[in-house]
Structure 1
Amino acid sequence: MSPHDRWLLRTAHTVYAVRLEPGGRWAETAAWGPHGVETGPSPLPGDQHTHFLTPADAAPAEYIPYGLRPFTGADLTVRRPGGERGTWWEFAGARQDEEAALELEFADPVTGLRATLHYRVVPGTDVLLRWTVLANTGAEELHLEQLDSAAVNVPVTGAARLTYLTGQWAQEFTRTTLELARGRFEMGSTQGVPGHAYAPWLALQDAAEADGPATATWGVALQWPGSWHLTADAEPGGGLRVRAGRVPHEGAVALAPGAELRTPELACAFSPEGLDGLSRVWHRYERHLAGERLHRPRKVLYNSWEATGFDVDAAAQLELAEIAAELGVELFVVDDGWFTGRGDEKGGLGDWTADPAAFPDGFDAFIARIKALGMDFGLWVEPEAVSPASALHAEHPEWVYRIDGRPATLVREQLLLDLGRADVQDFVLATLDRLLTAHDISYLKWDMNRPPTERGRPGATEPGALDLDAAHAAGYLRVLDHLRTRHPHVTVEGCAGGGARVEHTTLARTDVVWPSDNTAPLDRLAIQYGYLHAHAPHTMSSWVTDAPGVFDPRPRSLAFRFVLASAGVLGIGADIRRWDAARRAEAASWVARYKDVRDVVHHGEARLLGSPADATCGVQYEEPGGRVVVAAWSTGRLDGAPLVPGRPARLRLRGLDPAAVYADQDTGTRYSGAHLLHAGLPLPWSATHDAELVVLVRL
């Protein structure tokens, strides 16, 4: 094969073109964008001669080792036992399956390292998956100090606009933007999970263009539930290069002779329709990940945590359940506090048996009472955690992460199990199997409330070969895969102190995730706005509670909270025993309304209308040729004064047929598509009306 050959990978609406450097030493991005962008000279930097830089340092390389690229950021750094760092490889062959999959192989004859760059189109989407397989065919152990998954090159003409999701606990998924003209931007996590501070997701645009429905937008998302990094370099040669990968806790991963390692997948996406269009690309991809499970309705749930905390007893839970059933709830979930030794957060984790004192008539009798009310039953679990005072820890102290001779750090009064150990995985599998087969449980909320701190495994036979972060991730995914296979009827919700572990490997194995512990209305609106840029509505669990604002304390109505929770997967977490009859009746009407539009919200095309910084914002969901659902909120003052005296607020919809006619399902008011697109949907906000869920039927 000629070193000048080029390969194309074609998604539903985009193309990704790869070429070899003329000397065959590395692969380069040739083009990435809509169909046809590959025809013509590449917009990315080519062979450049720059003082104090090698050609590789200025090239739009797809994946390149330190050695070939010594200055501007390599994707792979390999150290030999003697201390030498650097890899110099050559092209060793290509395999392509039409325009849907590609493998490019490079080999270093000195170290025996072989690197295979993998590309795979996800059918029916505009997502391309990339990863790398590293194999040691030599006679000595190699140490991988950096092992990224892939790099992508974005053809901006000057400065780049980066959009990413930031935050902290209770403030996850805050949409953040910066311009990068020169230099390096980096984010990541070393907490063993993606973390609350940054999501492993990035969108890229040309800063010279304003974001809008006709703006070219590229995006990447690293599919990895452990520690990670994502780096964007505005390079001296004028290119924007983004690389991402996992971060080994030990500083390097040992690759023994004959061994191979597969990096996490990097999902790459493009949309010509701005950030809003890119969000729909990610939503379609996540519907693909759900597979047949997408078509199982996400049931309206009630979770008892905010009502009862650790004080769980059957009588109080049944009182809540009876009210929840009257509201139309379909699933009742008992949260933390249901198991032995769990009177507070200091005990019980690891001893996963229902507390007989809390359920004096028996746990199964309690579940039967819930089922008799017409609801399914679910439980909260935290399989990776253990309490120091638990029977499990007394029996197996060696199962927790620890370093001999060093004190253990308690976070939330608990330790973390080393889920990379096969015996710990087997214990977790057996525990979950026992719960799900012995009791009529159809929902699990899997939580994780602390990161690893003292990351060690004393007594390991080969401590130099430990890769604890990857081992924990593999154990976590093994357990989730087992749940999917052994208990396919069980709905699984992912949670890690809120949104600390939300990424595609988790989303592919769970049904919903919990974006944040913050359920205050205006705080949650900002969290969900950012979340929907990267993730689909059918994955977003959201509760109606009475929680006051953490960051934005302005009060909002019960309607606001229900419309907000209905923008994803509706749940209720308030102490509904305290709600009066009028409040319960209003709640029941909102639950019924949500059930009516649930399929459109979860399966339709979503568009973000405005932002929480605007006085009016919303989300539009559209099923092809059918109904349009608009969730809208007033974020301004609640003094009854309209924004413009005598006029309602207007929210311009998008993507509708301007020649079609749409009727409001409740009022019968008719609008042309052109009117909704250009004049907007009228929303008469007042002191008592700050949210609406509008259903439009195409006539």
Structure 2
Amino acid sequence: MNLSHKVLRQFILIAIILTIHVIHVHSQTIIPVETADNAVVLQAGVNGDVSCVYLGKKLRSVTEYGQITGVNRQADDYTGLYNSAYTSSGSRNLLEPAITVTHADGNNSLDLKYVSHEVKKISDDVSLLTILLKDPVYDFEVTLCYRSYFRENVIEQWSRIIHHEKGAVTLQKFASANINLQGNSYWLRQYHGDWAREMQPEEIQLSHGIKTLDSKLGTRANLFMPSVFMVSLDRPATEDEGGVLYGALEWSGNFRTDLEVDPQNDLRIISGVNNYASPYSLRSGELFETPAFLYTYSAHGKGFASRNLQSWARNHKLLDGKGTRLTLLNNWESTYFDFNESRLKELLQDTKRLGVDLFLLDDGWFGNRYPRNDDHAGLGDWQENRKKLPNGIAAIAREAQANQVKFGIWIEPEMVNPKSELYARHPDWVVKQPQRPEYYFRNQLVLDLSNSQVQDFVFQVVDSLFIKDPALAYIKWDCNAVIYNAYSVKLKNNQSQFYVDYVLGLYKVLQRIRAKYPDVPMMLCSGGGGRVDYGALQYFTEYWPSDNTDPLERIFIQWEYSYFYPAIASSNHVTDWGRQPLKFRVDVAMMGKLGFDIVVSKLNEQDLKFCQNALKTYNEIKPVIWQGDQYRLANPTEGSVASMLYVNADKDKAVMFNYLVNSRYGEGSRRPVKLKGLEPGANYRLKEINFYPGTNPLVDGRVYSGDFLMSLGFNPDVNTNRTSVVIQLELVR
């Protein structure tokens, strides 16, 4: 064989080796996304389809992820797309899509193929995986984004959509995430509600077909159905056992989550902005980025999943999640709309006497031509009412400073009353159909935040408050109406973009506020829990769970919120709602960010003394409540006692709240409550705290091992005479 033949043979051999290598990579490009305990495994096949082949407990060996598909013996997947990582429509897909488009030429087909992927290390805890997908026929691409939080076992997933076609493309559906679970059965825990009945749980077994969770309210989108949910595998998970996935969309408007049990008995979860009445026109070269869908998986029950999510929120998402919070006195239930400067000065003295940090002036302080004396007028006219506040907000702020307390204020800047100067001046700023009768929610309408002029106006509402009081220390941001008769004068012929552009406009305003006032605490309020999501909470320090402040009801409401949100974000006020004694009301409010909405001047001497002492106690234990691990010990829906435990990171301090939730004869804590999260080999001293003056605590200095408390438990002696008992645990050194 001459030299030329040898060279040719070697060339052919090298080419074959290279070809085999490329085929091998393309046939099984394994892309694992790992956290401390879990993994999501993606796989790009020989034809470029990207699939989600696994979501669950992390394997010890990364190399074994490549063997996952080989152990399944399921029914035929006629499409090869059942477990697609981002299912497109119009080609060979037969199931619910994550994305549907109409191309510039009118064609509705889309087929997304793997091009490349990249992993970036953002920090010790955070990594970002991006996977580029392209259509081989149309100049259209989607980038799948997976931001993983290693220590917290949380993943945020979203998509970036762009095209370079000759003309606009219409996005008919544009989900954030498309994930897949494998199990023998699936149990969905979802929530429903209404005003004062937030976070009502329901749990069902999913059957074949599609279960959809969604909202079409525009604003206050969580009023009837929150976007949070959990799915248990094989059986309903308990606090400490079972596989369970928590999901939530970081979006403050219309959402949609489809849960589809497919022909292979796998569960497909597709979540994102609701495409209801919202086809979105995308110009050539324009980037559309969906909001993040977050999820965490636990192989050890609901408690582990919620602690992961709470830790993630404090460390990464909630504004100032590792910081402090202000206790406050709110005037709403003391005065409602009926107050003046003299009355507010009295309340400021009560604020100091009570011992809280801040006085919050609620609704009713504004409007002159149409004074805000009830909820029928004045909303939108953000000048001080001269009759109520002749010397303006600045005078109240100075009085607060003289009483050594901070000052905060209520606003609802997204809304307008038809009976207002703003409505008369700018009817084109109001969301309403031009030829249809107006329809009101709480006697008001919504301003069009898709309009940049309205965005400027809302920003200036906030900015002007700081001009009047540079030391303004707190803002309660309310949102009490949903959107009827959706229409934007500004959008003209692009009305289908309104629901999306409204929320994007809201976020633009909040970003401007936070750029100028990064540290001012703000409460996210929406007639209660109508707008509680992590898309908004990145701009707020806390949220208002419900206007229902009956402490017995609040135990149930706050319990359900605790699965998804940390205690530091839950704004809980002591009010006169309910029949429970003052101590019970204060104890329930302590399980979060404490506030008061009571008439301090009407408290008797003992009640006032108790509240003052309770605030001192709260200041001592709040670091454990705000930053500690939360353990739900006794579920109020399953017995007569509710019990919640908070344990700090060092496991040397803990606080246990216990309540009687059944008033029938003889009910109480008949059996001990088993604690969790303690050091088994350590000893803990138990002490009853926050007891009412003149009563004798039953628990004072008893010492138990962590092993005893977690194995046998402790009985807090809750009964009809002791309806609320708080126990402090401290490590014996």
Alignment TM-score > 0.5, same fold: yes
Mapping for residues 609-688 of structure 1, pairs under 5 Å: 609-613=633-637, 614-625=639-650, 626-637=652-663, 641=666, 643=668, 649-666=671-688, 667-688=700-721
Alignment-mate amino acid for residue 397 of structure 2: I
Following TM superposition, by how much is the alpha carbon of 1:291 offset from its aligned partner in structure 2, in angstroms? 7.0
Q: Which residue number in structure 1 is paired with residue 730 of structure 2?
A: 697
Q: Which residue number in structure 2 is paired with residue 160 of structure 1?
A: 186
Write the distance in 2 (CA, Å) between the matches of 1:11 and 1:238. Answer: 26
- Given candidates 200, 208, 217, the residue that maps to 1:191 is 217
Mapping for residues 444-483 of structure 1, pairs under 5 Å: 444-458=475-489, 460=491, 463-464=493-494, 467-483=497-513
SS for the counterpart of 1:394 is helix
Gapped runs of 5+ residues in structure 2? 1-21, 689-699
Following TM superposition, by how much is the alpha carbon of 1:361 offset from its aligned partner in structure 2, in angstroms? 4.1
Following TM superposition, by how much is the alpha carbon of 1:501 offset from its aligned partner in structure 2, in angstroms? 0.8
TM-score between the two structures when normalised by the length of structure 2: 0.89
- Given candidates 128, 151, 156, the residue that maps to 2:155 is 128
Q: Which residue number in structure 2 is paired with residue 239 of structure 1?
A: 266
Q: Which residue number in structure 1 is paired with residue 430 of structure 2?
A: 400
SS for the counterpart of 2:191 is strand
* Structure 1 outlier segments of 4+, above 4 Å: 43-49
Asked if the contact 1:604/1:624 (under 8 Å) is kept, the reply is: yes
Q: What percent of counterpart residues are identical?
A: 25
Q: Which residue number in structure 2 is paired with residue 366 of structure 1?
A: 396
Asked if the contact 2:79/2:94 (under 8 Å) is kept, the reply is: no
Alignment-mate amino acid for residue 114 of structure 1: E
2:37 maps to 1:13: yes
Alignment-mate amino acid for residue 23 of structure 1: N
Write the distance in 1 (CA, Å) between the matches of 2:719 and 2:244. Answer: 37
Q: Which residue number in structure 2 is paired with residue 433 of structure 1?
A: 463
**CA gap 1:314/1:12 in 2 versus in 1, 3 angstroms:** farther
Following TM superposition, by how much is the alpha carbon of 1:281 offset from its aligned partner in structure 2, in angstroms? 1.0
For 1:412-451, what per-residue CA distance to the aligned partner results, in whole angstroms no more than 9, with x for missing partners?
Answer: 1111100111111111112211112321311000000001
2:120 maps to 1:97: yes
**CA gap 1:100/1:68 in 2 versus in 1, 3 angstroms:** farther
Write the distance in 1 (CA, Å) between the matches of 2:533 and 2:724. Answer: 30
2:235 maps to 1:214: no
Mapping for residues 280-679 of structure 1, pairs under 5 Å: 280-289=307-316, 293-340=320-367, 341-439=371-469, 440-458=471-489, 460=491, 463-464=493-494, 467-548=497-578, 555-613=579-637, 614-625=639-650, 626-637=652-663, 641=666, 643=668, 649-666=671-688, 667-679=700-712
Alignment-mate amino acid for residue 696 of structure 1: L
For 1:349-373, what per-residue CA distance to the aligned partner results, in whole angstroms no more than 9, with x for missing partners?
Answer: 1111121211234432222212222
Write the distance in 1 (CA, Å) between the matches of 2:662 and 2:245. Answer: 33
**CA gap 1:69/1:547 in 2 versus in 1, 3 angstroms:** farther
Following TM superposition, by how much is the alpha carbon of 1:390 offset from its aligned partner in structure 2, in angstroms? 1.4
SS for the counterpart of 1:286 is helix
Write the distance in 2 (CA, Å) between the matches of 1:47 and 1:259. Answer: 43
**CA gap 1:290/1:594 in 2 versus in 1, 3 angstroms:** farther
Alignment-mate amino acid for residue 566 of structure 1: M
Q: Which residue number in structure 2 is paired with residue 252 of structure 1?
A: 279
SS for the counterpart of 1:163 is strand
For 1:623-666, what per-residue CA distance to the aligned partner results, in whole angstroms no more than 9, with x for missing partners?
Answer: 12221111111112265x3547xxx5522111211211000245
Write the distance in 2 (CA, Å) between the matches of 1:636 and 1:181. Answer: 35
For 1:371-420, what per-residue CA distance to the aligned partner results, in whole angstroms no more than 9, with x for missing partners?
Answer: 22221111000010011121111111110112221122121111110011
**CA gap 1:127/1:581 in 2 versus in 1, 3 angstroms:** same
Write the distance in 2 (CA, Å) between the matches of 1:183 and 1:108. Answer: 28
Alignment-mate amino acid for residue 322 of structure 1: Q
Mapping for residues 258-269 of structure 1, pairs under 5 Å: 258-269=285-296
Alignment-mate amino acid for residue 598 of structure 1: K
For 1:121-176, what per-residue CA distance to the aligned partner results, in whole angstroms no more than 9, with x for missing partners?
Answer: 135421111111111111132211111111111221x1111122322111111232
SS for the counterpart of 1:293 is coil
For 1:574-613, what per-residue CA distance to the aligned partner results, in whole angstroms no more than 9, with x for missing partners?
Answer: 2333322222222222222111111110011111112122
Aligned length: 684
- Given candidates 227, 242, 257, the residue that maps to 1:200 is 227
**CA gap 1:538/1:209 in 2 versus in 1, 3 angstroms:** closer
Q: Which residue number in structure 1 is paired with residue 692 of structure 2?
A: none
Write the distance in 2 (CA, Å) between the matches of 1:467 and 1:524. Answer: 37
SS for the counterpart of 2:268 is strand
Write the distance in 2 (CA, Å) between the matches of 1:561 and 1:591. Answer: 13
SS for the counterpart of 2:518 is coil
Following TM superposition, by how much is the alpha carbon of 1:269 offset from its aligned partner in structure 2, in angstroms? 0.9
Which structure: larger Rg? Answer: 2
Asked if the contact 2:660/2:668 (under 8 Å) is kept, the reply is: no
Asked if the contact 2:53/2:69 (under 8 Å) is kept, the reply is: no
Asked if the contact 2:278/2:500 (under 8 Å) is kept, the reply is: no
**CA gap 1:104/1:177 in 2 versus in 1, 3 angstroms:** same
RMSD across aligned C-alpha pairs, in angstroms?
A: 2.2
Write the distance in 2 (CA, Å) between the matches of 1:210 and 1:420. Answer: 42
Gapped runs of 5+ residues in structure 1? 549-554
2:178 maps to 1:151: yes
- Given candidates 30, 40, 54, the residue that maps to 2:54 is 30
Following TM superposition, by how much is the alpha carbon of 1:13 offset from its aligned partner in structure 2, in angstroms? 2.9
Following TM superposition, by how much is the alpha carbon of 1:212 offset from its aligned partner in structure 2, in angstroms? 4.1
Write the distance in 2 (CA, Å) between the matches of 1:535 and 1:351. Answer: 34
For 1:320-349, what per-residue CA distance to the aligned partner results, in whole angstroms no more than 9, with x for missing partners?
Answer: 332232221111101100112101111111
For 1:489-538, what per-residue CA distance to the aligned partner results, in whole angstroms no more than 9, with x for missing partners?
Answer: 31110011111111111111100000111101221111101000111101
Alignment-mate amino acid for residue 381 of structure 2: D
Asked if the contact 1:248/1:469 (under 8 Å) is kept, the reply is: no
Asked if the contact 1:45/1:238 (under 8 Å) is kept, the reply is: no
SS for the counterpart of 2:588 is helix
